[in-house]
Structure 1
């Protein structure tokens, strides 16, 4: 004899979490982190929201694979960065790249310094920007950054070196 079927409305929150394998709980807990990292990559909150949505969608589509990953955060970071880089390779991005005014002043004691840093980050090429965000914001090692970007460790080091040189030059000119 089989158990009676439970209507979908009576499943409850726990049943919903079991039904999606923890996807909702994971995304709810990490959406702020995903959005902040996306902002550092994009430099624009609107674009960051779009990138966050794309990342969450890709995560949903590949959730069975994602939850088997050794580190779900690492898997999510790879999806985020690859979506960012893929977006920058599209021809329409080069035609419609807009520069928006800063969203708000920096929380630090030097608001002008925060704006200068944002301008400097915006001046970097997409892969250099991705390297800087992964290495210095996400605090990944060279090897982990290379894994996320799908390149060699030497490439990460050279991209980081060039990016830091560009950032220093941009910030010293202020």
Structure 2
């Protein structure tokens, strides 16, 4: 398995080791992607807490990892996505949404980045997950499919639909 620099990572192939130091070495190459995905999916939650919960879950479920069903990265990111969804549910006020809460203090200016973030937030949860995995966590279509629990064709279709929706939402009319 190559790193982001293309160099192979030694000793992280196959199932997660049963000992603590081996498990740490096995997950270490994936921590940046896990943190990036947690930050994208659990806006408002502490992404380090989400990653910590995902790592704890991965540790307890390490015997269930099946290399024939996907890469360690996809498995860990699927757990991270699940923990991020749980963190968002815990933050939601009873009977309302996060958008109903009035946040005191100055409101930031609406710049292009916020427009894109707002447009992404308006996508369906499935489209958002596909966009976050593929574009922000830098996963391949196959890895995104493993995280989402669907086929590669479904990921491609979902990304295509998301791009079309984003084009419409971000269209500048003068």
Q: TM-score, normalised by structure 2?
A: 0.63
1:77 aligns with 2:77: yes
Query: SS in structure 2 opposite 1:172?
Result: coil
Change (3 A) 1:143 1:33: closer
Q: Does 1:62 align with 2:61?
A: yes
Structure 2: 5+ residue runs without aligned partners? 1-16
Q: How many residues align?
A: 147
Q: Distance between the aligned counterparts of 2:155 and 2:48, measured in 1? A: 26
Are the aligned partners of 1:88 and 1:126 in contact in 2 as well (CA < 8 Å)? no
Residue pair 1:35, 1:52 contacting (<8 A) in 2 also: yes
Q: Is the 8 A contact 1:142 1:153 kept in 2?
A: yes
Kindly state the Cα deviation for residue 88 of structure 1 after the two structures are TM-superposed: 7.1
Distance change in 2, residues 1:75/1:129 (3 Å)? same
- 1:41 aligned onto 2:41: yes
- Alpha-carbon offset, residue 76 of structure 1: 0.7
Determine if contact 2:43/2:88 at 8 Å carries over to the other structure.
Answer: no
Question: How far apart, CA to CA, are the structure 2 residues paired with 1:94 and 1:131?
Answer: 28
Pick 1 or 2: higher relative contact order, CA cutoff 8 A, min separation 6: 2
Q: Between Structure 1 and Structure 2, which shows a larger proportion of helix residues?
A: 1
Shift of 1:150: 1.3
Q: 2:159 — aligned with what?
A: 160
Greater Rg over alpha carbons, structure:
1
Change in 2 beyond 3 A, CA 1:87/1:151: farther
Q: Which residue of 2 aligns with 1:11?
A: none
Q: Note the alpha carbon deviations across 1:54-75, whole angstroms, 9 max, x for none.
A: 3122112123444x74743232
Any idea what the Cα deviations from partners look like across 1:83-137, whole Å, max 9, x if unmatched? 44577789x6894531479xxx8xxxxx822222211121112111111112222
Cα distance in structure 1, aligned partners of 2:84 and 2:20 = 26
Cα pair distance change 1:25/1:147, threshold 3 Å = closer
Q: Distance in 2 between matches of 1:130 and 1:93?
A: 22
